[in-house]
Amino acid sequence: MGQHEITREPDADQLRVFTKKLLADLRALERMLEEGQIESDVRRIGAEQEVFLVDSSWRPAPLALEVFAAIDDPHFTTELGRFNIEFNLEPITLGGDCLSRMEGQVVEFLERASRAMRDLGGEVVLTGILPTLEKSDLHLGNMTPMTRYRELNEAMTRLRGREYDFRIKGRDELLIQHDNVMLEACNTSFQVHFQVSPEEFARRYNLAQAVAAPVLACATNSPLLFGRQLWRETRIALFQQSIDTRVPIPAMRELRPRVSFGRQWVERSVLEIFREDVAHFRVLMSSEIDEDPLEALAAERVPTLPALRLHNGTIYRWNRPCYGISDGKPHLRIENRVLPSGPTPRDEVANAAFWFGLMSGLAGIYEDITRVMDFEVARENFVAAGRLGLGAQFAWPGRDKVPAPELILEELLPLARDGLAAVEVDAGDVARYLDVIEERVRTLKTGSQWLIDSLAAMKGRGGRSERLAALVAATARRRAEGRPVHEWETAGLDEAGDERSHYQRIDQLMTTDLFTVGEDELVDMVAYVMNWKNIRHVPVEDNRHRLVGLVTHRSLLRLVGESLASAAARAVPVREIMTTEVVTVRPETSTLDAIRLMRQHKISCLPVVAEDERLVGIVTERDFMGIAGQLLEKFLERA
C-alpha cells in the first residue's frame, strides 16, 4: 500500500473509477496467467522487517520521520505508527548461502537504523509487541502524517461506524475500546516472501496454510499487551480486531473480517483469492491510475496492476498472495505474515528457514495436502498456536492430537532439513538455523516464554512500568550480543535504567483494577468494600463507565457522625454522600503535575479519565508512598 499515492477523501465517483481499474487489473492478470506470461523458472525469497523505535526510557519514540530522513535509503519506509519503521530486503534466489545472506541484510539494515536512533538518543527493538507501549500512546498524533494512513483510518472507522472493541483472553483478560486503527501499530512482524510459479500456486499456498500453525508455535514472541499476559502470540488476536470493520447486526448473517486465515483451500489459481477479496471487501481507498493494463499487454509491456496491489494491501490474510515484477518479469509470491519481529536476526531467519524448508520438504511428501487435511483443522491448529504456542496440540495427517514439540522435533524438523537440502541450501546454513529451532523447541524457550519467565522473576520488585522497561532493555541488549533467544538469561530489574524515567507519567503507575459503584447503590456496600479491600476511595461511575462522583473514607465517617440514627433506619444511596466536584487527570499527565494538583487541592487521590470522561484508573497517596519507599530503599543500598 505504501507504494501508491492515495487520493485524499475520495468521493463515490472516484471510488467507482478506481473499482473499474481494479476489475481491469483482474482481467489483465487472468490473461497473463492464460498466456503463460508469469515467471515460473526461478524461486526467490525475501522479507520485510518491522521494528520499534524506543527512547532512553525504553518507551515508544515517535521518531520514524527523523530516522527515515537520516537514513535516506529506498529500502526503508514508514509504518502506521511514528514509533515504527520498516525495511525491505533485496530478493535472493533460494539455494546456496541464501539464509546467511538474508541474515546479513537484516543485520546491516538494523545497524543503520540503530545508528540513526542512537544519534537521536534512542534505540531499535525487535519484538512482536512492545511491552512498554501504553494505550495512551495510540492517539492520532502518533500516526505517521501521510495521506495513506489517514485515509485508511478514516475509511475503516467510517465502515465500522463506532468505536473498536477489543477482547482478548489468556492468563489475563483485556477488554477495551479505542476510537481509531492505531492499535494495529502495536504489532511488528518479520514478513517472509516465497516466489511460486502460477502452475504450483494452489498447491504451495495450501501447504503454507497447513504449516502456519507449527511454524508460529515455535516462533511466538508477543505474550504481553499493556502489561497483561494474553496469548503466546497476541499479535494474532490483536491484529484481527484492530482493523475489523464488522459490526453486530440483528440478522443471522455471516460477515467476513479483513484479517483472516481464509475460509477454504485454493483449488486451482491465485485468481480465486483475488476474486473472493474483491467480491467481499469494499474498496477503502483510491488512487489516480493512468495505466491501462490491457493496453500494456497489447504493447507487450508488463502491467504493474496498481489498483489490484493497492486493494490487496487492505486485505490482511495471514498468508497473502502478491503480484510483483522482478528484472522486468511479472511473478507471484506468497507473503507469510505470521512471524513476529525478533527477538534477534538469527532467530528470525531460523523461523524463515523452518518455513522455507517445510514448503519444500512437504511438497515432496504430499502431492495435495488437501486430500489428507481438512481446512478447518489447519485453521484450528493456527488459532491454537497463537493462543498456546508450544503448549498447543495439533491434528496432523496420520496423527490425531499431537503436542507441538513432539510433532516439530520428530516429524517436521527432519522434513525441513531435507527440504532445504533438496533446493541445495548450504549444509552449514541449514545446520546454523534449524539447530536454533531444534534447541528452542527442545528447551521450550521461545521469545514469549523468555518474556514470561523474566516477568515472573521480577515479581514483587519495582513498579509495573519499571519491570516492563527492563524487558525492553534486556531485549535490545541481548539482541546486540547476537545469541539466539533460547540461550538468554532472564531480564533483571536493574536493566531498566534510571528509576525516574519509569514514573514520569500517571499511566505508568496508576491502578487499573478498580472497585467502583453506581450512584444508586447502597452506601453500606461501599463501606464493606473499603473495609474488605483496605482502600479509602471508591469512584462512582455510570453505566458507560463515565466518572460521576467519588466516595471517600472521610465522607463515610461524616455520614456516621452526623446522621447515625437516621442512616441506620433507611437505605442510603451513594449519590447522597458522594462528591461530584472531582479533580481528575488524563493518563498522559506528568507525575509531577499530578502531585502538585493533589497538594493544591489537598486531596489524597486522583481518578484518571480518558478524553470521553470514562474512568480508566486511579492514583492515590498510597501509590506514591509505595514508590517513595522503593526508591528510598534503592538509594540507601547504594549509599
pLDDT, average across residues 69-86 = 96
Phi-psi sector, 560: left (phi>0), alpha (psi -120 to 50), beta: alpha
Contact 219, 364 (CB under 8 A): no
Comparing 180-184, 227-231, 238-242, 334-338, the range with the smallest average pLDDT is: 238-242
pLDDT score, position 1:
41
pLDDT score, position 251:
47
Chain segment 26-44, per-residue pLDDT in tens: 999 999 999 999 999 999 9
Q: What percent of the chain has pLDDT over 70?
A: 93
What span, in angstroms and rounded, lies between the C-alpha atoms of 452 and 222?
A: 10
What's the DSSP call for residue 161? -
pLDDT score, position 499:
67
Is the pLDDT reported for residue 285 higher than 90? no
Chain segment 82-137, per-residue pLDDT in tens: 999 999 999 999 999 999 999 999 999 999 999 999 999 999 999 999 999 998 89
Chain segment 603-617, per-residue pLDDT in tens: 999 999 988 888 999
Distances (CA, A) of 316 to 24, 57, 236, 454: 22, 33, 11, 32
Q: Which is nearest to 210 in space by CA: 375, 434, 387, 420?
A: 375
Angle (CA) 372-377-379 rounded to 5° is: 125
Number of separate helices (H) and strands (E) present in the chain: 20, 20
pLDDT score, position 635:
64
Q: Which is nearest to 609 in space by CA: 541, 538, 508, 534?
A: 541
pLDDT score, position 554:
78
- Can you read off the three cell numbers belonging to residue 98? 541464501
Collapsing DSSP to helix, strand or coil, 579 comes out as strand
- Can you read off the three cell numbers belonging to residue 24? 481491469
Helix runs in 444-552, H state only: 447-457, 464-481, 523-533
For residues 255 and 452, which has the higher predicted lDDT (pLDDT)? 452
pLDDT band, residue 252 (cuts 50/70/90): very low
Predicted TM-score (pTM) of this structure: 0.88
Over its C-alpha atoms, the chain yields an Rg (Å, rounded) of 27
Dump the DSSP string for 388-457: HGGG-EEEETTEEEEEHHHHIIIIIHHHHHHHHHHTTB-HHHHHHHHHHHHHHHHHT--HHHHHHHHHHH
Pairing outcome for strands 605-609 and 615-620: antiparallel
Whether the bond into 343 is cis, omega within 30 of 0: yes
pLDDT, average across residues 77-82 = 96
Neighbours of 561 (CB within 10 A): 8
Contact 40, 197 (CB under 8 A): yes
What is the average pLDDT score of the chain?
A: 91
pLDDT score, position 375:
98
pLDDT score, position 5:
66
What span, in angstroms and rounded, lies between the C-alpha atoms of 432 and 91?
A: 21
